[in-house]
């Protein structure tokens, strides 16, 4: 059973010809409203694959919070750990220009109020889980409290996004730490190295039991004490990479919980991420296990 501890955001998306400057107003397209946030995305991705999944998160007592709860329940996620109130639901204000580039302002709202105390109050959910998956759109001290509450034998997965330097206590618990190139560079600081193998080696030296570096259309690299292994990408016609990392991480966490090796779980996760990039959106792009089997390679 998988527990995702993380963020839930309402994504408010407007297409614009160009972005407004200071003091300026521009007219945009009709508003699109989507459930998002890395925690909510991971939980939906795992549940859609068939994983028994629970979400521990905080949303506001408002329409966006209800949208997020509805999308979790529709995917089959156990929402008994979703706390309500304390601040408005987190939102991401997203403008997309004609070249497809995004500008995003995030208001963390209720995500910033998911506290260490909330984690202690939900300790039964944490100890009941085989795998706990986290990201950094909630306070780092809250993630650290998750680490302290782990039962021996529970596997802890962290995608440090948005990235920041991590305390040794959190790094030591990661099995694996999952990063893309940008996240690897921020976590490592100055001397990151030049290749994914070097990043993985330097990250392992910081204490995690294993590391996964995701490389977009180049696939991924997994590394633990037995050395690095490349996981090739599945070749697909990509249309929108939003949500690829979240679905990859969710799939990997679930397969690890089912007893697969890191390399096996990453190969499955690469198939899930590949399907996600062939479809528009984040949660809307996540496949079922059947769709992962029927993948269209190019």
Binding residues for K(+): 240, 242, 276, 279, 281, 285
Binding residues, by number, are 9-11, 37-41, 137, 180, 214-219, 240, 242, 245-246, 276, 279, 281, 285
Nearer to ligand ADP, 79 or 247 (CB): 247
Q: Which is nearer to ligand ADP, 116 or 281 (CB)?
A: 281
**Minimum distance of ligand ADP from residue 37's CB (angstroms):** 14
Q: Are strands 131-135 and 102-107 parallel, antiparallel or unpaired?
A: unpaired
**DSSP 3-state percent helix, strand, coil across the chain (nearest 5):** 40, 25, 40
Which pair of tokens denotes residue 171? Answer: 């790094």
Q: Which is nearer to ligand ADP, 140 or 238 (CB)?
A: 238
Establish whether 246 is a catalytic residue.
Answer: yes
| CA dihedral of residues 223, 164, 1, 3 (deg, nearest 10) | 180
Q: Closest Cα to residue 50, out of 274, 256, 254?
A: 254
Query: Helices 38-49 and 244-257, interaxial angle, to 10°?
Result: 50
CB-count burial class (<10 Å; 0-12, 13-18, 19+) for 140:
middle
Nearer to ligand ADP, 65 or 273 (CB): 273
What's the closest the beta carbon of residue 277 comes to ligand ADP, in angstroms?
A: 5
* Chain contacts with ligand ADP (rule: CB under 6 A): 180, 214-217, 219-220, 233-234, 236, 238, 241, 244-245, 248, 270, 273-274, 277
Binding site for ATP: what residues are annotated?
180, 214-219, 245-246
3 state DSSP class of 16: coil
**Cα(245)–Cα(211) distance, integer angstroms:** 15
CB 61, min distance to ligand ADP, A = 31
Any idea which residues carry the catalytic annotation?
246
């Amino acid at each position: 059973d998988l527990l995702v501890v993380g963020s839930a955001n309402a994504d408010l998306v407007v297409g614009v010809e160009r972005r407004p400057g200071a003091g300026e107003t521009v007219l945009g397209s009709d508003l699109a409203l989507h459930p998002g946030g890395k925690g909510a995305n991971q939980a939906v991705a795992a549940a859609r694959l068939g994983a028994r999944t629970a979400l521990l998160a905080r949303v506001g007592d408002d329409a966006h919070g209800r949208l997020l709860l509805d999308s979790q329940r529709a995917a089959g996620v156990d929402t008994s750990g979703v706390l309500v109130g304390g601040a408005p639901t987190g939102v991401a204000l997203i403008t997309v220009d004609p070249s497809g580039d995004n500008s995003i302002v995030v208001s963390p709202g209720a995500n910033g109020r998911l506290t260490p105390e909330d984690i202690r109050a939900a300790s039964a959910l944490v100890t009941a889980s085989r795998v706990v998956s986290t990201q950094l759109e909630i306070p780092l001290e809250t993630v650290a409290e998750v680490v302290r509450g782990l039962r021996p034998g529970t596997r802890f997965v962290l995608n440090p996004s948005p990235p920041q330097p991590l305390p040794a206590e959190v790094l030591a618990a990661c099995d694996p730490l999952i990063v893309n190139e940008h996240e690897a560079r921020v976590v490592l600081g100055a001397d990151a190295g030049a290749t994914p193998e070097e990043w993985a080696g330097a990250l392992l030296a910081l204490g995690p039991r294993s590391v996964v570096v995701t490389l977009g259309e180049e696939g991924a690299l997994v590394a633990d004490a037995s050395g690095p292994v490349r996981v090739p990408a599945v070749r697909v016609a990509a249309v929108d990479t939003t949500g690829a990392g979240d679905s990859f991480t969710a799939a990997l966490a679930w397969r690890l919980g089912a007893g697969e090796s890191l390399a096996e779980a990453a190969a499955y996760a690469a198939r899930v991420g590949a399907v996600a990039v062939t479809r528009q959106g984040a949660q809307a792009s996540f496949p079922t296990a059947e769709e992962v089997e029927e993948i269209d390679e190019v």
